[in-house]
Amino acid sequence: MRILSRYILKEFLGNLGLGLLIFTFVLLLDHLFELMDVMVNKGGSVWLTLRLLGLLLPSTLSITLPIATLLAALLTFGHFSETNEITAIRASGLNAWSYVKTPYLAAVLLVIFLIPFNSFWAPRAQSQFRRLFLEVLGRNPLVQIEENMFVEIGEYHFFVKKKNRRAQMRGISIYKNTPNSPPLRIYAEEGTAAIDKSRGVTFTLLRGHVEKIDPADPLHWVHTAFGTYVLDIPFMNTAKAEEKSIEEMDYYQLRQRIGELKAKDVPVPALICQIHLRWALAVTPLLFVALGIPLAIRLQRGGRSIGFAISLGIIAIYYVILMGGTGLGQRGVWRPAPAVWLANVVLLGAAGFFTRRFLRQ
């Protein structure tokens, strides 16, 4: 590599790493509190917490890597422009391609990496994270119960006003409303809970009442008071834990699901949008570099605060258009492909406009 290319690559990768670190930390901040709760309150080990964190990173990188690329282009070439290094390069007789080719080639490599990463690795990691997290909760479902919050355990929803570390609770409200059984409401003044590894969770409720629909007259409820009521809830159904959301399906699984639904004449715009969304995000590093370089040179200010502000503004506009278009595609208002790719087309148009003006200088 030429000295100039090595110099530019060093600066670009340094700013890329800075942006990746900052944006990844910001997006993971909410999850970090959850993981600390797993380690402190849910009995998870340090190794388990680190493993969960590692499974969270791929889905985060799908977003933060393109954003960091934009920031790297703005900071790197904003600095070069502010220190007149771009002027010195031009004065030496070198054309524009001689100093922009390095970040462009780096962006192409990122695109090649992100296409399979978004299509296969990130969804699989997200699926493994959910299964492992549910497994942690399944070991001790009682840790899910918090004061003044609705919590789902099995087919039941719990609301507890007071709870201590010995699983002693007060003001307990329990609801069950499943498609295959009549609604059920249970209220108890207080109660305790215990875990049996073979049976599940056993709640012993004191001084309360049970309300359920009268089988003879569905319009009326039967109200039964009790002094002691024992409620057994089996551990989570493993079949339910294996179910995958759209975001957790890789490319082949999405294609298979699309084929199954089309055979039943079921619309599949949400699944098609998910495929195009992953591809659209994968090519954004190249578009962000194409926009960031001429924009940074035109501004002629390389301060990091300016770079961060501009990158946040561009990112906000891009993701508003991306999510808006994706939403329209998922609802069938627009065709999935043009709806998802609209944001990238806008980004390409902006990049082409600033690049043309940059080449005329």
**Is the sign of the CA dihedral 157, 125, 68, 24 positive or negative?**
positive
Cα–Cα–Cα angle for 78, 81, 82, rounded to 5 degrees: 85
Residue from 18, 107, 84 nearest 351 by CA: 107
Tens-binned pLDDT, residue by residue, of the chain (361 aa) = 588 888 999 999 999 999 999 999 988 887 777 777 666 665 567 787 788 888 888 889 999 999 999 999 999 988 888 888 888 887 887 787 888 899 999 999 999 999 999 999 999 998 888 887 766 665 655 566 777 888 777 778 888 888 876 668 889 898 887 766 778 889 999 988 877 666 667 888 999 998 888 767 777 788 889 999 888 877 654 444 456 788 889 999 999 999 999 998 888 999 999 999 999 999 999 999 999 998 888 776 556 678 788 888 999 999 999 999 999 999 989 999 999 999 999 999 999 998 888 777 6
Residues listed for the chain: 361
**Could you please report the per-residue DSSP string of 40-67?**
HTS---HHHHHHHHHHHHHHHHHHHHHH
127 and 172 part of one domain: no
Structure tokens at 38: 């797993």
15 and 134 part of one domain: yes
Q: What is the CA radius of gyration of the chain?
A: 27
In a domain, 324, yes or no: yes
> Cα–Cα distance between 248 and 251 in angstroms, integer?
10
> Cα–Cα distance between 8 and 80 in angstroms, integer?
9
Structure tokens at 43: 């009995």
11 and 86 part of one domain: yes
- Contact between 99 and 89 (Cβ < 8 Å): yes
> What is the residue range of 293's domain?
3-138+247-360
Domains in the chain, number: 2
- Contact between 28 and 60 (Cβ < 8 Å): yes
57 and 171 part of one domain: no
